[in-house]
Every structure is written in structure tokens, then in C-alpha cells.
Amino acid sequence: MSVIAALTRRLGDLDIAEEAAAEAFATAVERWSADGVPPDPGAWLTTTANREAIDRVRRENKRGDK
């Protein structure tokens, strides 16, 4: 299953899923070139993208509160 599909199913928002996946891939380029590719790259990307998406949703919710 793709990272975007997993996030879309979890969050219900394709835009957030796409942006979080893009951020995760950008982070992977930086981290993996320095640290090497992790044992399970798909899981690493999914976890990183999920955290990015959660952070974005929290920031947007805080912005709406202000």
C-alpha cells in the first residue's frame, strides 16, 4: 500500500496526505544519505508522513483557535 493511500484512509484528507508524504520523502533524502536506508523504508516513510500529518492538523487547529 502506498504512503498516500494509508494516510488518506487514516486522515480522510487527500491534500494533507500528499503534503505529508512529500515532506517525508524530502526528509528521507536528507536522512538516508547521511544515516543509510533503514531496514523497512516503507514503514519509515509511512511513520514519518503520519507524524507530519498529525503535526499539520494540530497547527491548523491551533491557528483556528486564535
pLDDT in tens, the chain (66 residues): 699 999 999 989 999 999 999 999 999 999 999 999 999 999 999 999 999 999 999 988 888 666
Distance of alpha carbon 27 from alpha carbon 35, whole angstroms: 12
Distance of alpha carbon 18 from alpha carbon 2, whole angstroms: 11
**Domain total of the chain:** 1
Distance of alpha carbon 44 from alpha carbon 63, whole angstroms: 29
Q: Which domain holds residue 14?
A: 3-65
